Amino acid sequence: MAQEAPTPAPAPAPATPAPAPEQIVAGLSRDNIGITTSFDGSQILIYGAVKREAPEPDDEKLAVIVTLEGPLGPVTIRRKSREFGIWVNTASVGVAAAPSYYAVATSGPMDEILPPRVDTQQRISIPLAMRAFSGPLEVEDSKPFTEALLRIRERQGLYEMETGGVHIVDNTLFRADFDLPANLTEGDYKTRIFLLRGGKLVDQYQSAIEVRKVGLERWLYTLAHQQAALYGLLSLALAVFAGWAAAAIFRFVR
């Protein structure tokens, strides 16, 4: 008599990871920003609390880092040199993706609360926020090029580092304020919160802020990108009308 094969035992269910002893509960003062013709910047408040499942450790200091990152885009950094009395581009370095805006706020000095290993893994500091280079490098040392990009965007208010910008109350509540410049790029802005204790990453939180052109600004942007021919004709008609109006006013004044 044929014997039935034994029924295989069911595979054990994957173990559910234990919750972090401390977790971030956070929110934003607003999750969208409208760019209009009169837009001159905005302010974002990022706030939250630390949820604990056990008593707070006494021997390790709590630290919080908050980052706000704009849309990524390729950037080419060029170096000019004087050749035969003329300034020309002699070398360039391409960055595959650099944030259009990047701000970091910390509860303490970065070199004291953020280990290099965690910074490398999470790309928290401003220099590491830029992604890999695009294409082969044509220069021996790329550091002066990336440093130049950082200086330019810092002067434009697009890259900011604020030590002490995160305020912690009773080791539980925290907040960080970001002043956004007027020259924002449209897109989705990513905010990240990192909770560290004793140099170890305990928990992290991520959310998004939508930045979009609205009103007349949005209509012109959409027209220029989706109906370029019509946009060109309207621009030409506006230029002709402006020239005619200026000539008419000049004749009237004379």
Residuewise pLDDT in 10s, the chain (254 residues): 455 555 565 655 555 555 668 899 999 988 888 877 777 788 899 999 999 888 887 778 899 999 999 999 888 888 777 776 677 667 778 888 889 999 999 999 999 999 999 999 999 999 888 876 656 666 677 788 888 889 999 999 999 999 999 999 998 999 999 998 888 888 899 999 999 998 899 999 999 999 887 655 555 556 566 667 765 776 777 777 777 777 777 777 76
In a domain, 17, yes or no: no
The pLDDT, as a whole number, for residue 202 is 93
In a domain, 11, yes or no: no
In a domain, 90, yes or no: no
The reply to whether 165 and 187 lie within a common domain is yes
The reply to whether 46 and 124 lie within a common domain is yes
The pLDDT, as a whole number, for residue 167 is 95
Q: How far apart are CA 2 and CA 149, in angstroms?
A: 77
In a domain, 1, yes or no: no
Q: How far apart are CA 157 and CA 180, in angstroms?
A: 8
Q: How large is the C-alpha radius of gyration of the chain?
A: 26
In a domain, 44, yes or no: yes
Structural domain span for residue 243: 215-254
In the numeric block, which tokens belong to residue 28? 């934003």
The pLDDT, as a whole number, for residue 223 is 53
At how many degrees (to 10) do helices 215-226 and 228-253 cross? 120
Q: How far apart are CA 93 and CA 139, in angstroms?
A: 8
In a domain, 12, yes or no: no
Residue 233: phi and psi, rounded to 5, are: -65, -40
The pLDDT, as a whole number, for residue 36 is 74
The pLDDT, as a whole number, for residue 21 is 81
The reply to whether 36 and 118 lie within a common domain is yes
The reply to whether 242 and 191 lie within a common domain is no
The pLDDT, as a whole number, for residue 10 is 62
Q: How far apart are CA 46 and CA 167, in angstroms?
A: 11
The pLDDT, as a whole number, for residue 47 is 93
The reply to whether 162 and 247 lie within a common domain is no
Q: How far apart are CA 254 and CA 252, in angstroms?
A: 5
The reply to whether 254 and 135 lie within a common domain is no
Q: Return the closest-CA partner of residue 44 out of 153, 177, 200, 221.
A: 177
The reply to whether 145 and 241 lie within a common domain is no
Secondary element (H or E) of residue 229: helix 228-253
| Exposed/middle/buried for residue 15 (C-beta within 10 Å: 0-12, 13-18, 19+) | exposed
> What is the dihedral angle through the alpha carbons of 105, 107, 111, 112, rounded to the nearest 10 degrees?
-170
The reply to whether 148 and 240 lie within a common domain is no
The reply to whether 59 and 174 lie within a common domain is yes
In a domain, 15, yes or no: no
Write the CA distances from 185 to 24, 41, 67, 114, 210, integer angstroms: 29, 12, 17, 29, 11
Q: How many CA atoms lie within 13 A of 10 on its CB side?
A: 3
The pLDDT, as a whole number, for residue 64 is 96
Assess contact for 99 and 105: CB atoms under 8 A.
no
The reply to whether 138 and 233 lie within a common domain is no
The reply to whether 180 and 237 lie within a common domain is no
Place of tokens 């003329």: 86
In a domain, 189, yes or no: yes
Instruction: Give the pairing type, strands 102-106 and 159-163.
Output: parallel
Give the CATH number for residue 154.
2.60.40.3880
The reply to whether 109 and 228 lie within a common domain is no
**Structural domains counted in the chain:** 2
Assess contact for 148 and 92: CB atoms under 8 A.
no
